[in-house]
Structure 1
Amino acid sequence: MGGLLAWARLLRLPNHFTAVADVLAGYLVVAGLKTVIVRPEMLWAVAAGWLFYAAGMVLNDVFDVALDRKERPERPLPSGVIEVATAARVGQGLLALAGMSACVTAVLSGHPAPALVGACLTSSIWMYDRHAKGTPWGPAVMGLCRGLNWLLGMSAAGGPEIDSQWLLPLGIAVYVAGITLYARDEASASRRASLARATGVMALGLLLAGLGTWLTVQASGTIPWAAAAQPGIAIDRLTGWMLLWSMVSLSILLRALLGVLEPVPERVRAAVGNAIMSLITLDAALVLAACGEQWAVVILLLLAPFMFLRQFIPPT
């Protein structure tokens, strides 16, 4: 049991549900499925995205083991619970399986885009974990990985049909780059200026994703979300969605600002954990605008295992 828990900690298992939400949301936004229908290429794309994420988590700790011996000696690799060589083999194996799953997705979808996105993800994950993490452009590469995860799902459904849909993976990529920048000093006292900049980057990402949805709905002319209304009050569907997006975004940014005001490790880690968890909520909101309530609820349900597992396994 202890060995399984160590692997779950190495993999940062709660966070995997955010990767599943990303790929699924990317697929659904393009496919526009209004009812819960499961397609083979969707499942393979989700599997590929999950494997890519798992590989990235393992290889991250493999390449960071020397630093973790100083800053996080309780982690599975520096503590010796899991051997570094074993973790390296597992990480490389997961990356290979992820690439193969992306190729299967390409075959099932009938076009090569998922395989190409998978190749880009493989390169980006290796680049971040091996070379970029400690550099100034590390957050951008991490954001690229998340954006490509979204594109993996979109490509499995045929790729963006409206130009404004490209703003969705771009927004998620910028948002995650902001989270990564914010989390850089989470193990020690963080600087207010760097945290404030990171919060601004997160805000820009949220703005881009929201703008992409607004433009897409304007172009298509429909939004499959039942209008929120009370007697005597009628709320335009798109306006209602923008209010929802604004409230979710504000809740994330306010939590981040608490870390700016009091930049201690506890505040910063709490803000990072909340921002990561909120990826599921953000994905659900984007799917709500594109597909309606049914699939949005399915994605929201991914919060349940995330919140349960994080009681035992730290997500950061």
Structure 2
Amino acid sequence: MPTAADLAELVRAPAALSVPGDVVAGAAAAGVLDRRTPALAGASVLLYWAGMAANDWADRGLDAVERPERPIPSGRVRPGTALGLAAGLTAAGVGLAAAAGGRRAAAVAVPLAAAVWGYDLAAKNTAAGPAVMAACRGLDVLLGAAGGRVLRALPAALTVAAHTWTVTALSRREVTGADPALPLGTLAGTALVAASAATARARTGRRCAAGSRTIGGDAVDLPVAARRRNTVAGALPVALAGWYAARYGAAQARVVAEPSAGRVRAAVGAGITGLPALQGALTARAGAGLLGLAVAAAAPVGRRLARMVSPT
């Protein structure tokens, strides 16, 4: 009988802190931050855990050789238990998404679940693996946007998807180590992702001079307090995106210097636990600054928990 700790290790429980921010960023971008958002975030977490359990079930033979300490090859969790847990979490995640967001949310949750299982069972060890996993995270952002203006959430979805591509590409070299060209490429991708997240969202009204903007063709002066709020609002996505780039980028730079398996694993872990800072930048960019800070706060918490349960 597996213990709660065994199951938490199986599903990489602490890594789920990197998941709700996808939904929040999507909802903020689409203008639908409301009472449904927490439930949709919960559905996203369930689907993430399902994917982790399905991943270890699919990899049980390989893990017996490369990672015998994992729950299934070590005998702490039976393969059938892992498969059943993955199926149950998938059904619960899709069901919760449908209950919270109706047909529009279900229309995203079903292909998201299919992409998760498709990655674990078929795409993971192919050239399409990073792209499929990136699609999973992009759909996760769009799950939060369901019920709103989904097209407005596409830039955030593509940004998170691009980040996920870099993490997934690195993760394929966690055991063997990498050629320096790989972390160089993912590091360049991280720089582009951070720049995208830091870019301020276009505002209604065209700026015409310092401290003013045009509304309906007329120049309107903004109060000093409003100018300060706009300055802070514009700086916050930049600061959070810089935080994300500094943490994850530094880990990848260490892989470039020494592309060993251990450093690759550390970079993958940094990419997973650092994702909330990126999500926070995207949320703040959409105008929800305080919520963006709350999302980003999950990054240091995730790093601490990763010392107890590996996110990779």
| TM-score, normalised by the number of residues in structure 1 | 0.84
1:126 to 101, 108, 117: 117
Matched, 1:258 2:246: no
Distance 1:254 1:180 in 2: 17
Structure 1 stretch displaced more, 305-314 or 263-272? 305-314
**AA of the residue aligned to 1:48:** A
Q: Taking structure 1 as reference, are residues 188 and 77 closer, same or farther at Cα in structure 2, changes over 3 Å only?
A: same
Distance 1:118 1:143 in 2: 15
1:270 to 244, 263, 266: 266
Distance 2:40 2:4 in 1: 26
**AA of the residue aligned to 1:3:** T
Shift of 1:237: 4.8
Instruction: Indicate the RMSD between aligned Cα atoms, in angstroms.
Output: 2.6
Q: Is the 8 A contact 1:175 1:202 kept in 2?
A: yes
Shift of 1:245: 4.9
Residue equivalent to 1:20: 20
Matched, 1:296 2:292: yes
Shift of 1:113: 2.2
Structure 1 stretch displaced more, 7-16 or 184-193? 184-193
Shift of 1:59: 0.2
Higher Cα radius of gyration: 2
Structure 1 stretch displaced more, 57-66 or 281-290? 281-290
Alpha-carbon deviations, 1:149-188, whole Å to 9, x = none?
11101114x13364xx411101110110111001211122
Residue equivalent to 1:135: 126
Q: Is the 8 A contact 1:171 1:207 kept in 2?
A: no
Residue equivalent to 1:287: 283
Q: Taking structure 1 as reference, are residues 267 and 236 closer, same or farther at Cα in structure 2, changes over 3 Å only?
A: same
2:150 to 160, 180, 193: 160
Residue equivalent to 2:6: 6
Q: Taking structure 1 as reference, are residues 246 and 312 closer, same or farther at Cα in structure 2, changes over 3 Å only?
A: closer
Shift of 1:14: 1.2
**AA of the residue aligned to 2:69:** E
Q: Give the number of aligned pairs.
A: 294
Q: Taking structure 1 as reference, are residues 69 and 63 closer, same or farther at Cα in structure 2, changes over 3 Å only?
A: same
Alpha-carbon deviations, 1:72-118, whole Å to 9, x = none?
000001111000011101101111111111211232xxxx3211111
Q: Where in structure 1 are there 5+ consecutive unaligned residues?
A: none
Matched, 1:202 2:202: no
Paired residues for 1:1-316 under 5 Å: 3-31=3-31, 39=35, 41-107=36-102, 112-156=103-147, 158-160=148-150, 162=152, 165-211=153-199, 214=200, 216-218=201-203, 236-237=231-232, 240-241=235-236, 243-245=238-240, 247-251=242-246, 252-303=248-299, 305-316=301-312
Q: Is the 8 A contact 2:194 2:242 kept in 1?
A: no
Shift of 1:238: 6.5
Q: Is the 8 A contact 1:121 1:148 kept in 2?
A: yes
Q: Taking structure 1 as reference, are residues 153 and 269 closer, same or farther at Cα in structure 2, changes over 3 Å only?
A: same
Distance 2:145 2:277 in 1: 18
